[in-house]
Structure 1
Amino acid sequence: MTTPYKLPRPEAFNYQIAEKNTHLLVMQNDRGMTVAISDFGARIVSLLIPDKHGDPTDVVLGFDSIQAYLQANEPYHGATIGRFANRIANGRFTIGNETFQTEPNNGPNALHGGAKGFHNQIWDSRTVANKQVDFYYVSADGEEGFPGKLSVMVKYRLTDDNELIISYRAETDKPTVVNLTNHAFFNLNGEGSGDVLDHLLQINADHYLPVNDHQIPTGVVASVDSTVFDFRQPKAIGQDIAQSNEQLANGNGGYDHNYVINPQQRPGEHPIATVYAPQTGIRLEVCTSEPGIQFYSGNFLNGSDRGKRGRPYEKYGAFCLETQHFPDSPNQQDFPSTLLVPGHVFQTETKYRFSVDKPIFESS
């Protein structure tokens, strides 16, 4: 018998880390969509959406207690990522004439803000009615090697159109680099229900960034035309994933690459990526004001983590669509700048829109 999806128990998230209390916060709209978020990492813990049969389906990987998050092999499930999402080569970058060092935590690279990045922090929170939660965090000058005191707000809003809108805002007192995203692992068949290779994916991008064997962009902005990276027309995630391809090999046997969003697709309501699961009929559209999106096909999941229903998270058991500025941008002058200076405000927004009431790809 299939185990039904349900929210974790809130009391399993009442914990204390570094003298700060953690909680599970729940938002629900009028159409049966429910989102549970923790102030540990300002992360999405569960996202329940009715499938084509009306059955609630949890489409986000995660765990049923704070202790499980602390012990997990994969630390980024659903978390807010910062100060710098994705990779910085050798953990080193320069601002003006000064060089800064973030300790590598991903081979030679600094990944997702370092080992004590935003995903491992306890955020302050404020609930607005039952459809909005605001999170606040102040990153100290020098935290994980990044300069400047950075004051960050992340706002989660749930609409009655089944949209989860994430807004980011940051200010600094010294020049620094900033790249914020959310690291939700999605499986539209339901978390722990096997791989996502049957999901149909479309990405409105003509170019992507090839990477070296340490997954750092080479600096080339390559056309997706006639490559396995071409998702301009919908195709199954698994259609080309087993092909012999150097770039897929560099991603540990799958996709882990930044796509350059076509400028006409942002900002606005037009989705820059769409995913559809034929099994459940659930469709996800992603809209963003960011210039890039990292498509990751769960290549480093290995079954060592067991999710909310006790099922292992195997390779290809989820996909991520991380809206962002480009990886290693501080070291690559031709990429959109991630520099933030005093007096300026970093602001960006990403929208995850869910539906089951229309075909995946409607003709225009």
Structure 2
Amino acid sequence: MNVTRAPFGFINNQEVTLYTLTNNQGMIVSVLNYGCIITKIIVPDNKGSFENVVLGFDKLEDYIEHSPFFGAICGRVAGRIGKGEFDLNGKIYTLAKNDGENHLHGGIHGFDKVLWDAKVKDEELTVQFSRTSPDGEEGYPGNLEMKVTYQLTNENELIITYHGTSDEDTLVNVTNHSYFNLSGDLKDDVLHHELQLKSNAFIELGDDLIPTGQILDVDDTPFDFRKGRKILDGVNSSDHQNILVGNGYDHPFMLSHNNQQEIVLTEPMSGRKLIIETDEPSVVVYSGNMLQENTQVYGVQSRKHLGICLETQGPPDAIHHEQFPTMTLKKGEEYVRSTKYTFSTIE
């Protein structure tokens, strides 16, 4: 059980460091102080073979030039904000537009594209990243003091905790954007992964992929994961909601339970199982529909559906929809969120 450090390149003449956490079971989690990026998670299959189960790169340059947010922390606000602007306390704020006319995952230089300070607690298998997002960064108000903590336990749990405070009212809605593939070392795509969600409703998207504000019942739709279903169902679906996101899923699901095994992903061939438990109100399920074939991912050609994201967070664009849980952080209040990822196997 230990934490090691290794150089991973330079950006703006500053060294990027790779932190590797290893527990007593042999599970490994590697993270960068650039973007708080999870580069690898290595866990056993049901035969005891240890393999990587997330998408990433071996070189910093690939993260800078090609990464679709692989393993990164997205913020200040994850997901899209329609028209790249919002009204807060009667003042209009204009954000960086990096997704057509919309703002996506914190903007052009969001949390995923900056260096963070790191503090290691070896005895707790913990790395805590921290930084100050200055007032006006990407258009957001307030100086935001942000901390992201990764902890690996000997029960093969990865716990991510977020903590933030601001000296002005602002928006915060942070998530980790890891692409999971439980087949191990990307031997297959994720179409035959089975996902189970404790969710009775999902949020409808408009043709611009911005939430319409409508919360739809999952009954009798390809969005009903309550008893488990394969990702392939959404890819083959004729439902307009599946088609408009590139054939698959890229939707927020409202969670009916918290911290009660509400998100479960399994892969039949390897027997790997991932349980995600969170205090967040929703999870965005993204089935990698837009992954480009323009790069290699650990020696495997990138392609659609090579990974699946399970982004625990508040609903995207909530600032424009009063019926959604708020993403407003009041001056002096604390933003605290936590998500636990538990890896195991099934026979």
Question: Normalization by structure 2: what TM-score?
Answer: 0.96
Alignment partners' CA distance in 1, 2:318 and 2:12: 32
Letter in 1 for 2:286: Y
Counterpart of 2:49 in structure 1: which amino acid? D
SS of the aligned residue for 2:61 comes to helix
CA distance in 1, matches of 2:110, 2:243: 27
The reply on whether 1:75 has 2:68 as its aligned counterpart is yes
Q: In the alignment, is residue 246 of structure 1 matched against residue 240 of structure 2?
A: yes
- Are residue 314 (structure 1) and residue 308 (structure 2) matched? no
- Check whether the contact 2:234–2:247 (CA below 8 A) recurs between aligned residues: no
RMSD: 1.3
Query: Which one-letter code corresponds to 1:330 in the other structure?
Result: I
1:156 to 132, 138, 150: 150
Give CA-to-partner distance per residue, 1:168-216, whole Å, 9 cap, x none: 0000001100000000000000243231011111011000001001111
Letter in 2 for 1:349: S
Deviates more, 1:217-226 or 1:121-130: 121-130
Residues 154-233 of structure 1 mapped to structure 2, 5 A cutoff: 154-233=148-227
Amino acid at match of 1:105: N
8 A Cα contact 1:107 1:214, kept in partner = no
2:319 is aligned with 1:330? yes
Instruction: Tell me whether 1:256 sits opposite 2:250 in the alignment.
Output: yes
Q: Counterpart in 2 of 1:299? A: 289
Instruction: Quote the offset at 1:233 in angstroms.
Output: 0.6
C-alpha distance in 1 between matches for 2:224 and 2:276: 17
Q: 2:79, 2:18 → 1: CA distance? A: 26
Determine whether 1:41 maps to 2:41: no
CA distance in 1, matches of 2:293, 2:273: 26
- In structure 2, the residue matched to 1:98 is 91
- 8 A Cα contact 1:192 1:313, kept in partner: no
Q: State the SS of the aligned residue for 1:239.
A: helix
Alignment of 1:75-154 (within 5 A): 75-129=68-122, 131-154=125-148
Q: Does 1:59 align with 2:48?
A: no
Query: How many equivalent residue pairs?
Result: 342
Query: Does the CA-based 8 Å contact 1:192-1:312 persist in structure 2?
Result: no
Q: 1:106 to 1:299 in 2, by over 3 A?
A: same
CA distance in 1, matches of 2:109, 2:35: 10
Q: Which digits, 9 at most, give the CA deviation of each residue in 1:72-103, with x for residues without a partner?
A: 1x330000110000000011101011000112
Indicate which of 257, 267, 287 corresponds to 1:277.
267
Distance across 1 between alignment mates of 2:213 and 2:73: 26
Contact kept in structure 1, 2:234 and 2:242, CA below 8 Å: no
- Return the letter of the residue paired with 1:183: H
Question: 2:106 and 2:64 mapped to 1: Cα distance?
Answer: 17
SS at match of 1:218: strand
Distance across 1 between alignment mates of 2:12 and 2:293: 30
Counterpart for residue 6 of structure 1: none
Quote the offset at 1:19 in angstroms: 3.9
For residues 301 and 115 of structure 2, the distance between their equivalents in structure 1, rounded to whole angstroms, comes to 27
Unaligned 5+ segments in structure 1 are: 1-8, 360-364
Q: Distance in 1 between matches of 2:221 and 2:55?
A: 29
